[in-house]
Chain A
């Protein structure tokens, strides 16, 4: 033991020296969205002992992929409930993977909800509609949790806006989400238009929608798309904007 004492002392001294540095580095990593997966007992029950051990040992992305492939197999068998559980596990393992959140939400809100609505085993329309709505909510929950884990990306805001528009018919929420997505520097320019279009669909928000559409129109002919011009015209008519103050497209513009 005496012979090994210097080695032990060296390791302990290095341990002391690195402790705070490692803690700060871990915090830096987390601030840059690394190591965000919450590997807790809930996950342990979902992925089993081996899967949990593998996830703990730095192979969580592989476990997530294998479960994703399994979910794909469940999709071919239209086992929506099992798919939802697998998606939940996959997104817990890889919370920074936008594709997993987006695809999980899409599968639930579009495919599973349609299958629930067309369920031949359920004669009651009320129950089928209820089931359909529950799948919309599942999809929405995936996107909301996805945004919480990826607040630095516009993509899930856009997907949530699309979901509110297409599945809920909630244009105000859709507009809010598109506007949030449009705030990102790398967001496509169409998101600002989408936010304005959705707002134009909301009764009581005509003035706000008009101002947004008008601001886009003033940016120049790149924004003069048929839908924008149509919506702008509709708002001008609804708000009784005097003819001389209305947006005018130069003659000959195509």
Chain B
């Protein structure tokens, strides 16, 4: 005689989706990544910031802030994308090699939860890395600002208090702008998108080298996807074959250029929040779709 579902105690009943299981997998993934000492790259990030800060000391304060912001945010963008691709590419092959994957999937853990947990673990690691880098960048920028302000005060000479205040206001306006925050969020979203693409590729890849190379290729193509789309949408007289090719590039690859906001934000552009939320929404949709695609391939995989 078997128990009907109604007679099984609630605590032992298997749920189709359990956030607790996803949380456990993502926590373990984060822990694994931390044990791999991925955060050592922060030392390199700090060196880049300090190095460039010292390098531009003879420049005007506008140039100093400009270079510091560009280099820091550029380094942040490189490091987050590299971390996203490299750490995600290793996830599945490592679990298969260590046999951890079989242990997990032998338990009543749906494959979707496994993939979601793995991706969330990487996203958490990226979040911590982005926050730490932002804090370092903010501190470096603040220190530079204070140095420029104190130099201005020292060289004020016969300037009236109003003129000195105006000069300090100008310096502070050049240092921190509210658009920097959406710019940094866009960097994170791009890295998250790269992580989900890498996860998708790793579900059918034959080796982690293939995963990394393909992800890097997608990254480069993603930055010129908008050119392909515009070629396809334009009603020009281009060859039919080229148009079909561009059409497929547009359909398959993500438009990563849309997440490159920091270049123009540092140059002084301000971003409207409505536009930013649309971009962020697109980034999240991409991540969800690639995760789902990864699940479709992974669920049919014979392990």
Residues of chain A at the chain B interface (Cβ within 8 Å): 3-4, 6-8, 10-12, 14-16, 18-19, 21-23, 25-26, 28-29, 32-37, 53, 56-62, 64-65, 68-69, 72, 94, 96-99, 103, 153
Contact = CB atoms under 8 A, between A and B. Distances in A.
A19 B252 contact: no
B282 A60 contact: no
Max chain B C-beta neighbours (<10 A), residue from A23, A26, A57: A57
B66 A35 contact: no
B77 interface: yes
B40 interface: no
Contacts of A98: 267-268
A12 B252 contact: yes
Given A29-B275, A68-B63, A11 B260 contact: no
B263 A94 contact: yes
Interface of B: 55-56, 58-59, 62-63, 66-67, 70-71, 73-74, 77-78, 190, 200, 204, 219-220, 223-224, 226, 229-230, 233, 250-252, 255-264, 266-269, 271-272, 275, 278-279, 282, 285, 289-290, 292-294, 296-297, 300-301
A64 B70 contact: yes
| Main secondary structure on B side of the interface with A | helix
Contacts of B278: 25, 28
A149 to B, nearest CB: 10
Max chain B C-beta neighbours (<10 A), residue from A11, A21, A60: A11
B263 A61 contact: yes
B74 A56 contact: no
B272 A35 contact: no
Contacts of B255: 22, 26
Contacts of A58: 77, 190, 223, 256-257, 259-260, 263
A238 B78 CA distance: 65
Given A15-B250, A57-B223, A59-B78, A25 B267 contact: no
9 contacts: A3-B300, A10-B293, A11-B289, A12-B251, A18-B282, A32-B272, A57-B220, A61-B262, A97-B268
Nearest to B70: A61
A94 B267 contact: yes
Given A15-B251, A57-B220, A65-B66, A23 B233 contact: yes
